[in-house]
A and B are shown apart, each in its own frame.
Chain A
Amino acid sequence: MNHTLKIILKKSALRWFFIVMGTLGYNAGITQSDQDALMMKKNEFCTGLMYQQSTWDQYWEGTLKRENLNIGTMKTQMVGYMAMYGITNKLNAFVSLPWVKTSSTAGQWKGQQGIQDVSAWLKYWAIDKKGAKGRFGLFGLAGVSLPVSDYTIDMLPYSIGLGTTNFNARIMADYQRGKWFATGSMTYVLRSNVELDRTAYYTTGIHYTNEIKMPDATQWMVRAGYRYKNWIAEVVADNWTTQGGHDITRNNMPFVSNRMEATRLGANFKWEDGMVKGLSLLAGGNYALEGRNMGQATTVYGGIVYLFNFSKKSSSNTNSPASK
Chain B
Amino acid sequence: MKNLLLIFLIPALFAGCNKEVDDVSLAYPVLQPTKTDANAGTWKTMLLTTPDQIAVSAPAAATGPDYTAQINEIKSLQAKLNDDGRNQVNYWGAGAVLRWNEITRELIAKYNLPPVNNPDGTYPAPDANNPLSYPYFPFANPPYAARAYAYVSAACYDALVACYHYKKLYNRSAPYVVNTTVNPLLPKTDLPSYPSEDATVAGVMWEMMKLLFPGEQAAIQAKINEHLQARIAAGMNVRSDIDAGYALGRAVANLFVARARTDRAGTAGGSMVIQKQFEDAAIARGEMPWISQENPKRPGMLMLFGRVKTWNFDSAQLLSIRPPAPPATGSEQFKKELEEVYNYAKNPTRDQIRIAQYWADGVGTYTPPGHWNAIASDEFVKLGLSEVRWARNLALLNTAMEDAAVSCWDAKYLYFNPRPYQMDTRIKTVVGLPNFPSYTSGHSTFSGSASTVLGYLVKNKAASFEAMALEASISRLYGAIHYRSDCEAGIACGQRVGGFAVTRAQNDGAGD
Q: Which residues of A contact B (CB under 8 A)?
A: 69-70, 91, 106-111, 122, 124, 126, 140-142, 144, 150, 152, 154-155, 167-169, 188, 190, 192-193, 196-202, 205-209, 211-214, 249-253, 255
The A-contacting residues of B in range 359-381, CB under 8 angstroms, are 360-366, 371, 374
Given contacts A208-B23, A250-B113, is CB(A126)–CB(B4) below 8 Å? yes
The reply to whether B11 and A206 contact each other, CB–CB distance below 8 Å, is no
Consensus secondary structure, chain A interface: loop
Does B118 sit within 8 A of A, measured CB to CB? no
Residues of chain B lying within 8 A (CB to CB) of residue A208: 23-26, 374
Q: Which residues of A contact B120 (CB under 8 A)?
A: none
Which segment, of B192-200, B292-300, B449-457, faces chain A? B292-300
Whether B366 pairs with A197 at a CB distance below 8 angstroms is no
Known contacts being A124-B7, A169-B8, A211-B22, is A198 close to B14, with CB within 8 Å?
A: no
Within 8 A of A (CB), among B104-146: 105-106, 109-110, 113-116, 134, 136
A202 in complex: contacting residue of B1, B25, B106, B136, CB < 8 Å? B106
| Residue in contact with B421 in the complex, picked from A108, A140, A211, CB distance below 8 Å | A108
A-B contact pairs, 8 of them (CB 8 A): A108-B293, A196-B357, A200-B371, A202-B109, A202-B366, A250-B113, A252-B363, A255-B364
New contact pairs (9) apart from A108-B433, A199-B374, CB-CB < 8 Å: A69-B296, A70-B294, A110-B345, A110-B430, A126-B4, A142-B7, A152-B353, A152-B354, A213-B20
- Beyond A110-B430, A209-B24, A214-B19, is A202–B365 a contact (Cβ under 8 Å)? yes
Bound CA–CA A150/B114 (angstroms): 30
**Residues of chain A with a CB closer than 8 A to B371's CB:** 200
**Chain B: CB-nearest residue to A64:** B116
User: In whole angstroms, what is the CA distance A89 to B302 when docked?
Assistant: 69
Which A residues touch B23, using CB under 8 A? 207-209
Q: Which of A190, A197, A206, A251 is within 8 Å of B114, CB to CB? A: A251
Which residue on B lies nearest to A138, using beta carbons? Answer: B4
Report whether A190 and B11 are in contact in the complex, using a CB–CB cutoff of 8 Å. Answer: yes
Is the pair A250, B116 in contact by a Cβ cutoff of 8 Å?
yes
Q: Are A206 and B357 in contact (CB under 8 A)?
A: no
Complex interface residues of chain B between 294 and 333 (CB less than 8 A to chain A)? 294-296
Interface residues on B, range: 35 or more
Query: Is residue B350 contacting chain A, with contact meaning CB distance below 8 A?
Result: yes
Q: Are B429 and A206 in contact (CB under 8 A)?
A: no
Task: Using CB atoms, name the residue of chain A closest to B433.
Answer: A108
Of B10, B21, B348, chain A has the most CB atoms within 10 Å of the CB of: B21
Q: Does B82 contact A (CB under 8 A)?
A: no
Q: Do the beta carbons of B3 and A124 come within 8 Å of each other? A: yes
In the complex the two chains form, what is the Cα distance from A69 to B116 in whole Å? 11
B375 — nearest CB in chain A belongs to which residue?
Answer: A199
Give A72's nearest chain B residue, CB to CB.
B295
Q: How far is the CB of B270 from chain A (nearest CB, A)?
A: 21
Q: Could you tell me if A168 and B115 are in contact, using CB atoms closer than 8 angstroms?
A: no
- List residues of chain B with CB within 8 A of the CB of A255: 364
CB distance from A203 to the nearest CB of B (A): 10
Complex CA gap A188/B294 in Å reads: 41
Q: Which 5 A-B pairs have the closest CB atoms?
A: A110-B428, A167-B11, A202-B109, A208-B24, A69-B295
Query: Given contacts A155-B430, A206-B366, A252-B113, is CB(A198)–CB(B11) below 8 Å?
Result: no
B295 / chain A contacts, CB cutoff of 8 Å: 69-70, 106-107
Residue in B7, B12, B296 whose Cβ sees the most chain A Cβ within 10 Å: B7
Q: Within 8 Å of chain A (Cβ to Cβ): is B60?
A: no
Q: Mark B17-34, 1 if CB is under 8 A from A, else 0.
A: 101111111100000000
Closest A residue to B109 by beta carbon equals: A202
B357 to chain A: which residues have CB within 8 Å? 152, 154-155, 196-198
Given contacts A200-B365, A208-B25, contact A108 B428 (CB under 8 A): yes
A167 near B14 with CB under 8 A, answer: yes
| Contact status B7-A122, CB under 8 Å | yes
Distance, CA A193 to CA B19, complexed state (A)? 7
Q: Quick check: A141 and B24 within 8 Å, CB to CB?
A: no
- Which residues on A sit within 8 Å (CB–CB) of B105? 206
- Shortest A213–chain B CB gap in Å is 5
Q: How far is the CA of A212 from the CA of B21 in the complex (A)?
A: 7
